[in-house]
Amino acid sequence: MEDNNNELKVGLEIHQQLSSSTKLFCKCNGFNQLENEIYFKRILRPTQSELGETDPAALFESKKSKLMNYKANINTSCLVEADEEPPHEMSEEALDIALTISYLLKSEPVDEIHVMRKLVIDGSNTTGFQRTVIIATGGELQVNNLKIPVLSISLEEDASRIISKNRDQSTYSLDRLSIPLIEITLAPVKFKKEETEKIALALGRLMRTTGKVARGIGTIRQDVNISIDGKNIIEVKGVQQLDMLTNIIEFENQRQINLLKIKKILLGRGMTENNFKAETADISNIFNNTDCKLIKTVLSNKGKVMAIKAQKFRGLIKKEDYEGTRLGRDISSLVKFFGYGGIFHSDELPNYGITENEINKISIKIKNESDDGFIILAGNKENMNITVKSIQNRLCQCIIGIPAETRTPTEDGKTNYMRPRPGSARMYPETDIIPVKITDDKKLKIKKILPQTYEEQINNYKNNIGLNDKLSIQIFDSKYKTLFEKLIKNIDLPANFIAAQLTETLINLSRNNVNINKITNNELEEIFREIEKGVIAKESFEKIVEDICESDHDINNIINEMKSSKLSEKDIEKIILEIIDAKKEIINEKGEKSFSILMGEAMKQLRGKVDGKIVSDKIKKLLKK
């Protein structure tokens, strides 16, 4: 293959939680109640396939049976999430939302949907598989003048929330498990730096036009499929922040370019897939009196040190033109997958207490010549053979090209090896649920009530409802979009006021660590109704929300308290006169300019009780006297 023709192609896979009233396969709903009172432990075991696995890492992954701890709240999870009861029928509401999004993407729904079980045995699903179903295929996403083809749209269960994880066990909370998730797979397209984020943003907004997708941290997640050789796809799982996408793609591009360069050099040095032999040797004896602390500890714990010959690899293990893309780092994260801390390699030695003398002995032992390198793996004996085999395979793959694998993003925009890429094969039917027909009636019904586009909705906010530009976008993107649209129809308050409270005020409270998730839409509506009636001041919105979220008091009590502390005109005048009296000197000195000082003082006492406009009018009036 000619390596110069490589073209970076990137395909996005977006996972978005739907805000349906129940989970996908039971009648549980929601988050918000995080106190867990149910605990149970499980061991997940691999299921055997009719076809033997050949990749040692895949085999190892499937053989790791780990202890899983599950925590659950009886209000947000039931026997279905605990895998103690067969799933109920699929939520029709979730299916309708997914179909709506499919039509927005001009995707064609399938005639009959079949729920599948996709094996995932990391414990994030209590069953050991994720239920997932293809809803539609084909279609396109239009982003300005660009058309990105859609491959498929599926509806699936979200996984449990991980609480902690170590080598032997993982702990998960079941609240998130089985919340409906829509997965949209876009076709890989030629990568343009400035476009990827735009594509992701446009897709996010397209879904939000339905008003039925969840908002907030962890409710949307991108996987990115990145390939430069057109054959082997690297899947980077779980990119949460859009602004990291470009960095991650660039890193992967460089890492893959580096791998292709290594391949070229190896071929140039005469290596082929057939003559590659990575001999190994137990080199524990060489380190009997070593100064390398790490190896010393390993040996004193009855561990073992192995050398793996890296034929013709001299200089290539550390080779990197872009930070973090060296092969050594990849091999290191590969061995971490098997539970080892890392590796030493010939390109970085002598170092870490390993001496020239020890290196020479290793070279003799594995018969290294001048172009050759080696990898050292030290640790417990248990998984040594399978790990050594994986390193050998990884080295051999360098002659072939880029290995398809699943990688995980790091915070600084790099990627790490996570596991071998699961084949499409690891899926089989969910036999507890019979296939569901998507009838022509249903299709028609959904097509009839498709939501307006993002642009149409924003224009409507601006032109018909009278929101300003900033609030239009903020309310569209917020989780209160649907509530807002309901309120402006039913409540006679300025749209800008309602939108500002639902976005800016709530965000402010949230920044001050008030748990605003505690307040329900009904409670918010109640507050606006009381303001509409004039029994409480507009300014009290923030204070009431804060009280509801922070205290155990009932909303009615809180509102009543506000009402009773509502001041009469006389009370307000009295307070302002007292302030004017106290600030006499400043008033005499500054005249009308003292207004802002007086206003500040007055609002200290009156905030949340009286409309600011009333206060300022009163001050102006009383000052004139």
Partner 1 sequence: MIKLSELSGYKDKSLELLSSAGIKIGDFIKINTKTTEYLGNLLPRYEYSNENYIVIKLTNGYNIGIDSKKITDIGKIKSGEEPKFKPPSKPNVKDSLPKIAILGTGGTIASRIDYKTGAVNPAFSAEELYSIIPELASYANINTELISNIASEQMNPEDWKNIANKVIEKIKEENQGIIIGHGTDTMAYTSAALSFALTNCPIPVILTGAQRSTDRPSSDASLNMISSVIVASQESINGIYLAMHSSIGDNEISIHSGTRVRKNHTSKRDAFESIGIDPIAVVNQGKVIIKSETSKNDKKFEPKINFNENVALVKFHPGFKSEIIDAIIDSNSKGIIIEGTGLGHVNSQCNKSIKKAIDNGMFVGMTSQCLRGRVKMTVYSAGRDLLDIGVTPLEDMLPETALVKLMWAYGNYPNNDIKNIMLKNIAGEYTERSTLGR
Query: Which residues form the interface with partner 1 (CB under 8 A)?
Result: 39-52, 79, 82-86, 108, 110-114, 116-119, 121, 126-129, 132-134, 137-138, 151-152, 154, 423-429, 431, 434-435, 437
Q: What distance in Å separates the CA atoms of residue 181 and residue 203, rounded to the nearest whole number?
A: 15
Shortest CB 82 distance to partner 1, Å: 6
- The strand pair at 67-72 and 169-173 is best described as parallel
CA atoms within 13 A on the CB side of 366: 27
Shortest CB 75 distance to partner 1, Å: 18
Which of the 8 DSSP states describes residue 100? H
Tell me the C-alpha to C-alpha distance, in Å, between residue 423 and each of 9, 58, 119, 166, 404: 20, 10, 11, 26, 10
Residue 112 vs 569, nearer CB to partner 1: 112
118: left (phi over 0), alpha (psi -120 to 50) or beta: beta
Residue 113 vs 259, nearer CB to partner 1: 113
Shortest CB 170 distance to partner 1, Å: 14
User: Using omega within 30 degrees of 0 as the cis cutoff, is the peptide bond preceding 494 cis?
Assistant: no
Q: What distance in Å separates the CA atoms of residue 44 and residue 57, rounded to the nearest whole number?
A: 18
Shortest CB 45 distance to partner 1, Å: 5
Largest CA distance in the chain: 102
Residues 6+ positions from 291 with CB-CB distance below 8 Å = 353, 354, 355
Q: What distance in Å separates the CA atoms of residue 213 and residue 220, rounded to the nearest whole number?
A: 9
Shortest CB 202 distance to partner 1, Å: 24
Residue 233 vs 603, nearer CB to partner 1: 233
Shortest CB 301 distance to partner 1, Å: 24
Residue 162 vs 549, nearer CB to partner 1: 162
Name the phi and psi angles at 455, rounded to 5. Answer: -60, -45
Residue 48 vs 351, nearer CB to partner 1: 48
Residue 114 vs 193, nearer CB to partner 1: 114
Of how many residues is the chain composed?
Answer: 625
Q: Strand, coil or helix: what is 458?
A: helix
Residue 23 vs 71, nearer CB to partner 1: 71
Q: How far apart are the first and last CA of the chain?
A: 91
Q: What distance in Å separates the CA atoms of residue 572 and residue 569, rounded to the nearest whole number?
A: 5
Q: Apex CA 263: angle with CA 260 and CA 267, to 5°?
A: 145
Shortest CB 112 distance to partner 1, Å: 3
**Positive/negative CA dihedral, 166, 172, 176, 177:** positive
Retrieve residue 608's tokens: 């949340």
Retrieve residue 430's tokens: 């969910």
Residue 57 vs 72, nearer CB to partner 1: 72
Residue 19 vs 130, nearer CB to partner 1: 130
- The strand pair at 405-409 and 234-239 is best described as parallel
Shortest CB 125 distance to partner 1, Å: 8
Shortest CB 62 distance to partner 1, Å: 9
Shortest CB 117 distance to partner 1, Å: 8
Residue 62 vs 468, nearer CB to partner 1: 62
- Contacts for 140-146: CB closer than 8 Å, 24+ residues apart: 140/105, 140/106, 141/105, 141/186, 141/199, 141/202, 141/203, 141/206, 142/202, 143/195, 143/198, 143/199, 143/202, 144/198, 146/195, 146/199
Residue 139 vs 403, nearer CB to partner 1: 139
Q: What distance in Å separates the CA atoms of residue 415 and residue 623, rounded to the nearest whole number?
A: 65
**β-pair partners for 78:** none
Give strand ranges (E) for 220-287: 220-227, 234-239, 280-282
Residue 106 vs 296, nearer CB to partner 1: 106
**β-pair partners for 190:** 9
Shortest CB 403 distance to partner 1, Å: 20
Q: Apex CA 435: angle with CA 430 and CA 441, to 5°?
A: 150
Shortest CB 109 distance to partner 1, Å: 10
Shortest CB 136 distance to partner 1, Å: 9
Residue 187 vs 396, nearer CB to partner 1: 187
Residue 89 vs 111, nearer CB to partner 1: 111
Residue 113 vs 179, nearer CB to partner 1: 113
Shortest CB 137 distance to partner 1, Å: 6
Q: What distance in Å separates the CA atoms of residue 349 and residue 541, rounded to the nearest whole number?
A: 65
Shortest CB 164 distance to partner 1, Å: 18
